[in-house]
Structure 1
Amino acid sequence: MEAQSVASHLNSSGFIRSQGLIGGKWTDAYDGKTIKVCNPATGEVITNVPCMGGKETNDAIASAYDAFVSWSKLTAADRSKCLRKWHDLILAHKEELGQLMTLEQGKPLKEAIGEVPGS
């Protein structure tokens, strides 16, 4: 599959996100600035991501702290179920994740897909 159509497929499937996650919500940089993410093999722009700074970082840290408070109240079994679901989702989408890694890093597809289970 051609790099442009791979990027288009990943974008339409929701695997390419062009916002940051803060407090469980996808958000742009507060000042609207972005950074281009380019395919190193072609130089084509895959997407633009938010260029987040200190304010966004502080909000992300505060939100992570708040999330930890509720996470730490879960039983080990409940935390394990959540992590297992995340693991299963990663494995179910290893090809898409490998394609994304190839697009943004220039890594061979087979190698990228092979790295996914270790995540």
Structure 2
Amino acid sequence: MMFGALVAAGLAAPSAAFADGDAVAGAKVFKKCAACHVATEAKNRVGPHLVGIVDRPMASVEDYKYSKAMTEHAAEVPTWTEEALDAYLRDPRGVVKGTKMAFAGLKKDDEVANVIAYLKDPSAAE
């Protein structure tokens, strides 16, 4: 909970330089996510679509049933900022205890920065 509060307050320093992310490289890394998520159209799969996720309210995709853990986390960290995405992409189950997401997370700084760049502008990778 404390970590979520720090991220929400913008006090947790991001590990990656998001501005330096490469959307094309991020599209390749995103293939790890594509079994459950799509970032190019507002269509839910096992997980919610990720269109416009950067700066979008957490747990806000209509017609998607979020876990109780994610809705509770959204009350603490209401927006998918780049910093919140950084933390979550690195350790989803550590950031949101009880999340339905089974993905273990991305461990490399460049992969996280690149995926965030891709999520900010998926069309850049076309």
TM-score by length of 2: 0.27
Which structure has more strand as a fraction of its residues?
1
Which structure has more helix as a fraction of its residues?
1
